[in-house]
Amino acid sequence: MTYFDQVSEAATFLKSKLGSVAPRNGIVLGSGLGAVADAVADPIVIPYGEIPHFPQSTVEGHSGRLVAGLMAEIPVVVMQGRVHFYEGYTPQQVTFPMRVLGALGIQAVILTNAAGGIGEGLHIGQLVALADHINFMGFNPLNGSNEARFGFQPGAGLRFFDMTEAYSKRLRALAQEAAASEGFQLAEGVYLAVPGPSFETPAEIRAFRTLGATLVGMSTVPETIVARHMGIEVLGISCVTNLAAGLGATQLSHAEVFEAGRGVEHSLACLFKRLLPAIAADMESKP
């Protein structure tokens, strides 16, 4: 069975479970942010282990469930956790769930993550919209033969495609408006992705800052690349869960990351409840 066939089988299985729910918007929740899925009304909960060929998360803070239903009356599918390259998965396995979301008909996806803060003025618990990224993971998930059938949206599935706007300016503008309505400013930053699982050294953080990075993490970039290959618009939102190595007074730990993520779950859920109707209305207005 080919990779495309595996994706198709997983999507067919999910469609049979979702019934009349036909979401065009997806959300991927990073470390410590899983409770945001509790904001989904009338949820249909499907453990990753029940989905054909779906990879299983082995990291604390990633529940490993797909939750579909309504958020602020908008159909949405939420991935409660993701898998990572450092868990031993291949790039294709890491991005398999994103391929399945594309096959389900998702047109816009919000990718969240826990990130270390590099930029001046960032503080723990701050939400930051991604304006761009730097890929230091050592791979591109599209290496190998191109499968044009993954072009689920018009003009997508190309071997070579533009990444000038990896993170949608349109979605970022809507997110800024939603955040302002919620009473806070959504900063923007550049996310640098590393393979992990060890945290970075202070020297590496100094180098990353010189390159223009304001955030550092171990996910999101492979999903973004694959989403753009399929023509899906991407909004990336990082939660600053720690100050990067050498910038804080304490040693880094996953427990610290997890607890900081838990602290912003409510704010993030409120943001999404305001943002999703705006995205849906904007989609309807597009020709």
Model confidence pLDDT, tens digit, residues 139-169: 999 999 999 999 988 899 999 999 999 999 9
What's the domain range around 194? 3-285
The count of domains in the chain is 1
Residue 249, pLDDT score? 53
Residue 286, pLDDT score? 67
Residue 285, pLDDT score? 75
Residue 123, pLDDT score? 87
Sign for the pseudo-dihedral over CA of 221, 11, 37, 277: positive
The stretches in the chain having pLDDT less than 70 are 59-62, 244-263, 286-287
Angle in degrees, CA 112, 113, 117, rounded to 5: 125
Residues 6+ away with beta carbon under 8 Å from 278? 174, 177, 178
Residue 256, pLDDT score? 58
Residue 125, pLDDT score? 87
Q: CATH no. for residue 52?
A: 3.40.50.1580
Residue 263, pLDDT score? 60
CA-nearest of 77, 92, 108 to 11 is 77
Residue 73, pLDDT score? 95
Which of 183-207 are b and which e, b meaning 16 or more Cβ less than 10 Å from the residue's Cβ? Answer: eeebbbbbbbbbeeeebbeeebbee
Supply the residues annotated as catalytic.
31, 62, 84, 86-87, 114, 218-219, 242, 254
Model confidence pLDDT, tens digit, residues 112-134: 998 999 988 888 889 999 999 99
Residue 264, pLDDT score? 76
> How many angstroms separate the CA atoms of 237 and 187, rounded?
10
> How many angstroms separate the CA atoms of 34 and 43, rounded?
14
- Concatenating the DSSP letter of every residue in 132-201 gives EEEE-SS--TT-SS--GGG--STT---SS---TTSS-HHHHHHHHHHHHHTTS--EEEEEEE---SSPPP
